[in-house]
Amino acid sequence: MSENSTKRYRIGYALAPKKVQSFIQPSLLNLAKERGIDLFPVQITKPLIDQCPFDCIIHKLSDREWLNQLEQLVIHNPNVVVIDRPEAIERLHNRVTMLQVVNQMEIACGVSIGVPKQVFVESPESLIDSVAPRDLSFPVIAKPLVADGSASSHQMSLVFNEEGLRGLKLKLNPPFVLQEFVNHGGVIFKVYVAGKHIQCVKRRSLPDISEEKLGVSENLVSFSQISNVTAQDQSDEGVATLTEAAELPPSSFVTEVACQLREALKLNLFNFDMIRDNRVGGRYLVIDINYFPGYAKMPSYETILTDFFLDIVQKKQSVVSKDN
């Protein structure tokens, strides 16, 4: 069938320039076009309603003006599919609320899922007192409460003892969370979700910390990306070998967790970071959930995202046809 005779769909994207550069690559634009999808940049400075028609809008902007425009679009053009709704995305901007749904999940495939122990620290005065009463063991990772993709939201610290907590007061401005560090073999599993399409990949992570190392380590180590932190006695080659040798979680388990998260969060585009708990066999922990992550780092991301776009617009078309 020729391109001209194929039903074409128009998807608008409203993304920050850095996200456009990484996500809207020629390979994605070309594949989408071949399959009947035209991706258009939304002009943020112009009224969104005046830029219609759109079959779908994808976005990762959170300023008030944009949210107002999106709300007006939904009111006046209810047939436009918005991926995803701002109120659902907002839940992932808070490192406490983002993980709450995980403990409510029931997995039926013989593998368990949970989250590390963590506490919310509202002020510097409550920092020291927040650990002992909650049965939180060192080391812990200090993470800003707000997870909005900004540089400051990625400024984290690995804290080894109470002295490190005291130093933390100078590193991070509350509020933040303290999340118990769990040995996990130095490997993190990043699970990308685009609707019903799911892919799990391995990445290097913080190395395990033994009791011996805990006693002689620095009080506090700051970092911005977990994959940038490796032990001093581990070479890059050794870390790469360790990551390569790690076994992926069972695919049925990954799919079940991803589907339950998608339903509970009411989101289509996200990924979650998961580790294997070395203390308990067959147990995994979700440590972070991110909205509209760096999909271009995922193998064959163009095919997966195009398949997802087609799912959305064709489902919408089916609903409209039934209504008519």
Known binding positions for 1D-myo-inositol 1,3,4-trisphosphate: 19, 60, 154, 190, 290, 294
- The helix or strand, by DSSP H or E, that contains position 64, with its residue range, turns out to be helix 64-76
39-45 contacts: CB < 8 A, separation 24 or more? 39/11, 39/12, 39/13, 40/10, 40/11, 40/12, 40/13, 41/12, 41/13, 41/14, 42/12, 42/13, 42/14, 44/14
Q: Binding site for Mg(2+): residue ranges?
A: 273, 288, 290
DSSP helix/strand/coil, 215: helix
Q: Binding site: residue ranges?
A: 19, 60, 95, 143, 154, 179-190, 205, 273, 288, 290, 294
Indicate the angle between helix axes 26-34 and 301-323, nearest 10 degrees: 40
Q: Nearest 5°: phi and psi at 313?
A: -70, -35
d(CA 42, CA 44): 6
- 209, 166, 205: which is closest to 188 by C-alpha? 205
DSSP state letters, 7-29: --EEEEEE--HHHHHHHS-HHHH
Contact 201, 300 (CB under 8 A): no
- The helix or strand, by DSSP H or E, that contains position 193, with its residue range, turns out to be strand 187-194
d(CA 291, CA 92): 7
d(CA 283, CA 114): 8
- The helix or strand, by DSSP H or E, that contains position 164, with its residue range, turns out to be helix 162-171
- 95, 111, 279, 286: which is closest to 182 by C-alpha? 279
Q: Binding site for ATP: residue ranges?
A: 95, 143, 179-190, 205
